Structure 1
Amino acid sequence: MTTLDFSGKLIVITGVGRAGQVGEAIALGFAQRGASLALLDLNPEQVAERAAALTGQGFPHISTHAANLSDPASAQSAAAEVLWAHRAQHADRVDAVVCVAGGFGMTGPLDEADPDAWAKQFTINLQTAFATTRAFLPAVRDAKGSFVYFGSVAATPGGNPAGMAAYAAAKSGVLTLMRAVALEEKPHGVRANAVAPTAIRTASNVADMGDKTDYVERDSVADVVAFLASPLARNVSGQVISLA
C-alpha cells in the first residue's frame, strides 16, 4: 500500500498528541504519501510537537488545532480553523477524517464498575467521534470523501468485553455511528469504514503490558487506514476491518 498517493488531498486526523501512539504513525503514513494534514488533539503542546517532528522530516503542509472534541462547539470551531488554514490549497474540502481520538480503560465487572469511569469511556470514544463527524461532514461531502473510525475487536462478534464493558460498549457505539454515516451519506458520495484492532504496539500499551504481547504494529494500522481513505476503496463503505 506504499504506492497510495494523497498529493493534493487534505486529511484530518484526531488524537495526534502523545508520542509513540497510533495517531502519530497514521499522520506519518499520510505525510509520506503526499497529503496535507490537519492534526487535532486536546493538548496543544503535544500536537505541536508531533507536527514539528513531521515538518523536520520535510513534510511542510501541516496545521495543528487544539480542541476538546467531546464538546460539539469546540469541534465545530476546530473544523472552521482547519478549513481556514487550508483554504488556499483545498477550498472548503476535506478528503478524509480519521477519528483516532479516544482511550482505553478497564472498568471491571459490571457490579463493581464506577459510573464515572463508565461515562468517561463514552465521552472520550463515542462522543468525540460524533462531534468530529458532525463538525466536518459538510467539508467531507464537498470532497466526496470518507471517514475512518476506530472500533475494537472487543466490540465485534465473538469479542471478549469482560472487564472492559464500558470501553467495548462505547466502541460498539462508534461502529454503529460508522454504519449510520455510511448509509445516510451514500447519496452524497461519502464513505465510512472502521478498523477494529486488538492491542496495538504503542508506547503506552508496551509500558502497561510489556513487549511480549502479540501486538498489531502501528505501521500496519496506518497502511489499512490509508487504504480505506483512498480511491482504491471507493466501493468499500460500512465495513469493519479487524486487525489482529
Structure 2
Amino acid sequence: MSSLLVLTGIGRPGQLGEALARHFAAAGFSLALIARKLTDVEARAAELQPVRDGQRITAHAADLADPAATQALADDVLSAHATTRVHAVVCVAGGFGATGPLDEADPDGWHQQFAINLDTAFATTRAFLPALREAGGSLVYFGSAAATPSGSPKGLAAYAAAKSGVLTLMRAVALDEKLHGVRANAVAPTAIRTATNLADMGEKSNYVERESVADVVAFLISPAARNVTGQVITLS
C-alpha cells in the first residue's frame, strides 16, 4: 500500500490543488482529495490514474471550517484507505479577498477570510494529528507573501491577517509536535498562475508556476526535509 497524502482545497479546475493532485498521483501516493463540493472533487479524482499497485485516490467533501464536520471527514478518509497513518497533509483550502482600507472593510468579508483560511487549517490539523503522529508525518500550510515581513498587506488586511494566523499556527504545530515526530512548514507565494488569477489579473503579471509550488511541497514532505520544520518558504 502506498503512503497516504491528504490534500484539501482540490475542487475547481485550473487551480493549484489540481496541479498538486496530479503531481502526487504521478509520484505514486495514495490521495484523499478534499473539497467543499463533492461533485467538484470527484471530477478532479476522476482525472487521475494510479501508477502503482495499492495506490488509491478517493474524493471527499466537507466544510473544513466546521471542526465536527472535519473530524467526521478524517474518520471517513482513514476508513476509506483502511489505515490509521497519514504521511502528509497539505492544507491548500483557502481563498483570496481584498477588503480595502479598514474603515471601508465589510465585517462579513473580514470574518470570511479567517473562516476559509485559518479556521480550515486549524480544523484540518486537529482532525488529522493522531494519524500524522502515528506515521511521523508532516504538514504543509499555505500562507502568503503579503503576510511575511517583506510583503505588503495594503488593502488586504483581512487576507493578510488570516494568512499570518496560518503561519503562526504552523510554527505552533512545529513546536508542539516535535516530540511526536510531526513536522510543519509553510509556503508563502506571491500570485500563482491559476485560472482564477489569470482571469482577474491577465497574462502580464509575474506569476509563480503551479508546478514550481508542487516541487517545493514535494520537498517539504520528503525524507530529504526530515530536519526541516517551522519554516516559511517564500515563492516569487
Name the residue aligned to 2:4.
10
Question: Which whole-Å deviations, capped at 9, do the CAs of 1:160-180 have from their partners, x for residues lacking one?
Answer: 000011000000000000000
Name the residue aligned to 1:146.
138
Q: Indicate which of 116, 120, 124 corresponds to 2:108.
A: 116
Name the residue aligned to 1:25.
19
Q: After TM superposition, give the deviation of residue 8 of structure 1 in Å.
A: 2.1
Would you say 1:95 and 2:93 are equivalent positions?
A: no
Q: After TM superposition, give the deviation of residue 189 of structure 1 in Å.
A: 0.3
Q: Map residues 194-205 of structure 1 onto 2, 5 A cutoff.
A: 194-205=186-197
Question: Which whole-Å deviations, capped at 9, do the CAs of 1:10-53 have from their partners, x for residues lacking one?
Answer: 10000000000001111111111110000000010000000001
What is the rounded CA distance, in whole Å, between the counterparts of 2:51 and 2:135 in structure 1?
26
Structure 2 unmatched ranges of 5 or more: none
Question: Which whole-Å deviations, capped at 9, do the CAs of 1:87-109 have from their partners, x for residues lacking one?
Answer: 1xxx2000000000000000000
- Amino acid paired to 2:30: S
Structure 1 unmatched ranges of 5 or more: 1-6
Q: Indicate which of 72, 79, 83 corresponds to 1:84.
A: 79
Q: Indicate which of 44, 48, 52 corresponds to 1:54.
A: 48
Name the residue aligned to 1:104.
96
Q: After TM superposition, give the deviation of residue 58 of structure 1 in Å.
A: 5.5
The TM-score, its normalising length taken from structure 1, stands at 0.94
Name the residue aligned to 2:119.
127
Query: For the Cα contact (< 8 Å) 2:28–2:51, is it kept in 1?
Result: no
Question: Which whole-Å deviations, capped at 9, do the CAs of 1:139-188 have from their partners, x for residues lacking one?
Answer: 00000000000000000012100001100000000000000000000000
Sequence identity percentage: 69
Q: After TM superposition, give the deviation of residue 206 of structure 1 in Å.
A: 0.1
Would you say 1:234 and 2:229 are equivalent positions?
A: no
Question: Aligned Cα RMSD in Å?
Answer: 1.1
Query: For the Cα contact (< 8 Å) 2:4–2:30, is it kept in 1?
Result: yes
Would you say 1:39 and 2:26 are equivalent positions?
A: no
3-state SS in 1 of match to 2:47: helix
- Amino acid paired to 2:224: L
Question: Which whole-Å deviations, capped at 9, do the CAs of 1:115-135 have from their partners, x for residues lacking one?
Answer: 000000000000000000000
What is the rounded CA distance, in whole Å, between the counterparts of 1:32 and 1:58 in structure 2?
6
The TM-score, its normalising length taken from structure 2, stands at 0.97
Name the residue aligned to 1:219.
211
Query: For the Cα contact (< 8 Å) 2:26–2:51, is it kept in 1?
Result: no
Would you say 1:156 and 2:148 are equivalent positions?
A: yes
Name the residue aligned to 1:3.
none
- Amino acid paired to 1:52: A
What is the rounded CA distance, in whole Å, between the counterparts of 2:2 and 2:172 in structure 1?
28
Alignment: residue pair count? 234
What is the rounded CA distance, in whole Å, between the counterparts of 2:146 and 2:121 in structure 1?
18
- Amino acid paired to 1:103: G
